[in-house]
A and B are shown apart, each in its own frame.
Chain A
């Protein structure tokens, strides 16, 4: 049970960290100043969520380690005590459990917006349920984050409509973004072992149960944006189990560089 709770916590933390890191690439490059500020503010919220989950995961890992004799590979890697920093900066690609959607490149504004909208809509539905988790810490993080996620969802949803129902160029780019990203949305609702375990214990949420509401919410916004939901198609999965697209390695290279090059450095 404990290991599945740790895995689940890391999955939630990794989702937020990687999307936060991706969005932060826009810092200083946003299409207009206000939107540059918006996307980096969203980054900050996501990294804040990640910190809360990593801090909790670190406590769980340390408690588990103290309770038994032979440490797991992850714990050995971390050389002793886990902290929020060691979990973000010292785990390898295969140990990250984020879904593939969040690691996809920013490309243009349309793709960044669509990725944020897909994710925020998913996170909104998930955290709404997670507020009632039997695990107090999960419930508290979800309750706190949901207020910010509501902002993200409104902001990204409005942009989907603005771009989809905008100019010929912006409409065309949204269609291209849907083409690029749709195949990563199935994974959000794929159920892993750690989700089954934690859901059985009243802590986690079965994501497959969120899919229906997610599709209808997305469809609603797409209708206003004069965009169509894609036909049923092949879905790319694996991230939640540690099998990632090539992009994650590059993200981690940049994210983890300082700690890898200068272990324990602080500034």
Chain B
């Protein structure tokens, strides 16, 4: 489907969001950028479409890739002028991840962020929060490392099924 010039003027945000929902995070490919909650706004002005995104982590190396994909995807649909801008404030939080996103994460083998996260402060040697194993659903798990395979994840292991797994960490 290609957008013609008429639709370009009448198109609503919801439709644009549905196009963006087709774009996946390159590092967690089961999640769309909408699931992740990093699309903050879309603005249409003088036939130019601006997509405002926010990084999950300050140094997230996927941002450049995501920016490029948004431009390509929307250009293919017929949007001639697309600008992708970054907003840092308010800072992204795991609370912005959709329920659908959390479900997809778990299915993929990554423990989704807890709805209320407890270890975001500077207290040393605080007890690791209870994280549910995405494979056997046991809460009998322990943290191996606060830092994981990407900036947004920590490493855990299940004490029941013994599987190591990623946890989308507190942020």
Contacts and interface: CB of A to CB of B under 8 A. Distances in A.
- Asked if chains A and B come from one complex, the reply is yes
Interface of A: 34-35, 37-38, 41-42, 44-49, 51-52, 124, 136-137, 139-141, 143-145, 147-148, 150-151, 153-155, 157-158, 161, 221, 224
A150 B122 contact: yes
B58 A52 contact: yes
**Nearest 9 CB-CB pairs, A to B?**
A48-B59, A48-B58, A140-B89, A34-B145, A140-B88, A38-B147, A44-B59, A41-B147, A144-B91
Nearest to B121: A150
B145 A154 contact: no
Nearest to B90: A143
Contact of A153 (B55, B60, B91, B122): B122
Majority SS of interface residues in chain B? loop
Interface stretch (B5-13, B33-41, B148-156): B148-156
Given A38-B145, A38-B147, A49-B59, A144 B89 contact: yes
B61 A44 contact: yes
B146 A148 contact: no
Contacts of B123: 154
B57 interface: yes
Interface in B39-81: 55, 57-61
A151 B124 contact: no
B88 A34 contact: no
Nearest to B144: A34
B171 interface: yes
Given A45-B58, A51-B59, A147-B91, A161 B124 contact: yes
B58 A144 contact: yes
Interface string B109-135: 000000000001111111000000000
B75 to A, nearest CB: 21
Contacts of A41: 147-148, 151
Contacts, number: 83
Query: What class of interface size applies to chain B in its complex with A?
Result: 20 to 34
6 contacts: A35-B145, A48-B58, A52-B58, A154-B124, A154-B126, A154-B146
B60 to A, nearest CB: 7
Given A139-B89, A140-B89, A221 B124 contact: yes
A161 B89 CA distance: 34
Contacts of A34: 144-145, 147, 155
A151 B119 CA distance: 10
Contacts of B146: 38, 151, 154-155
Contacts of B155: 34, 37
A35 B92 CA distance: 26
Interface string B72-108: 0000000000000001111110000000000000000
Contact of A52 (B88, B124, B147): B88
B58 A148 contact: yes
Contacts of A148: 57-58
Nearest to A124: B122
Given A37-B155, A150-B121, 18 more contacts: A34-B147, A37-B145, A37-B148, A38-B146, A44-B59, A45-B58, A45-B151, A47-B59, A48-B59, A140-B88, A140-B89, A143-B88, A143-B91, A144-B91, A147-B171, A151-B147, A154-B124, A157-B124
